Amino acid sequence: MFNQVTIIGLGLIGGSLGLAIRRKRLARRVIGVSRKPSTLRRATRIGAIDEGSTDLRRAVSGAELVILATPVDLIVSYAKRIAPWLQPGSLISDVGSTKATIVQALEHRLPRPVAFVGTHPLAGSERRGIDAASATLFDGSLCVVTKAAATNPQALARVRRLWSRIAGRAVVMSPREHDQALAAVSHLPHLVAFCLMGATNHGALMLAPRSFLDATRVAKSDPDLWDDIFLTNRIALARALRQFQRQLDRTKTLLSRADRAGLRRFLKHTHALRLTL
Ligand code: NAP
């Protein structure tokens, strides 16, 4: 599908992407960029990249597609920095977990012949770094590809085809729709997991059963990655928090009134919803 793909940021997502692209033969060459030679050596050894470089300009020259897989707050500055070095007709894409801020900052602002298409693969884990990368991370998953007013249709189609091959399914939606949905199903649950940890005293933690470990697994996620995600999607996240607060208030009232019938109705309803997933 591509002659050269360059991936900037070889962590869990960037490394897994390199492995998947090479395994599925979706590019003739995959070049990786990291700040650390040790990451490049490791990425080459596991087969995530054909070649690595710490020299950004060298690594992107000749790339038909550059994928930014760094923490969210670095994506816009990297895209702006590399765009002037790319050939006309090249594509820049990203895998950041929030989309509106990134897409708005990039779509109108890159040199004309370089197109930007945002994506968010809905696969991952709380682990990080190249050692967590896996060739099968995206198998059977879904990738959101964003379409905004200025998205180039040919570029969108190419990126969507790439992700259909990598993940199996790629859906197109606006950056705003993406951010609102992800606030509810990803960002809020992560925040709740961090809050659960904050709300539980040390003595109780010693007794934590499996259910507590399951409910707080994502509080093991990297704080440096998640502060960006929370802040860049804070408006949608605040709305999701208000909805969650209403559920908490409702249960609090049911408990304070010892309303068994009401509590049972609430639990049956939410239990049935969970069973539909
Ligand atoms: P990660 O494992 O921590 O990898 C991040 C990579 O970015 C590392 O390879 C690191 O490379 C590089 N990096 C970090 N700080 C940098 C800096 N200041 N300058 C240059 N490079 C830097 O994180 P990840 O989970 O792969 O996340 C990467 C992106 O994917 C994020 O935008 C995230 O929102 C998105 N995403 C994550 C998940 C998930 O479940 N984790 C799922 C979907 C999308 P070196 O230290 O080797 O230079």
* H, E, C per residue of 117-186: EEEEECCCCCCCCHHHCCCCCCCCEEEEEECCCCCCHHHHHHHHHHHHHHHEEEEEECHHHHHHHHHHHH
pLDDT in tens, 39-52: 999 999 999 999 99
pLDDT in tens, 75-100: 999 999 999 999 999 999 999 999 99
For residue 55, the surrounding DSSP H or E stretch is: none
CA–CA dist 163, 153 (Å, integer): 15
Residues carrying CATH 1.10.3660.10, the chain? 178-275
Question: Mean pLDDT in the chain?
Answer: 95
Q: 111 pLDDT band (50/70/90 cuts)?
A: confident
Which CATH number is 178-275 given?
Answer: 1.10.3660.10
**148 CA to centre of ligand 1 in angstroms:** 24
Q: Is 100 in the pocket of ligand 1 (CB under 6 A)?
A: no
Least confident of 69-78, 102-111, 161-170, 209-218: 102-111
Query: How many helical (H) and strand (E) elements, i.e. helices and strands, does the chain have?
Result: 13, 8
pLDDT at 112 over 80: no
Class of residue 93 by CB neighbours under 10 A (exposed 0-12, middle 13-18, buried 19+): buried
Give mean pLDDT, residues 170-176. 97
Give the largest CA-CA distance in the chain: 68
130 within 8 A of 42, measured Cβ to Cβ: yes
Beta-carbon neighbour count of residue 140 at 10 Å?
Answer: 9
Give, in words, the CATH class of 2-173. alpha beta
Q: Which atom of ligand 1 is nearest to the CA of 38?
A: 47
Instruction: State both tokens at 83.
Output: 């765009």
pLDDT in tens, 212-271: 999 999 999 999 989 999 999 999 999 999 999 999 999 999 999 999 999 999 999 999
CA-wise closest residue to 142 among 124, 123, 159: 123
CA–CA dist 103, 119 (Å, integer): 10
**52 CA to centre of ligand 1 in angstroms:** 16
Beta-carbon neighbour count of residue 159 at 10 Å?
Answer: 27
**10 CA to centre of ligand 1 in angstroms:** 7
State the pLDDT at residue 110: 83
Q: Is 175 in the pocket of ligand 1 (CB under 6 A)?
A: no
Residues carrying CATH 3.40.50.720, the chain? 2-173
Helix axes 72-82, 223-232, angle to 10 degrees: 80
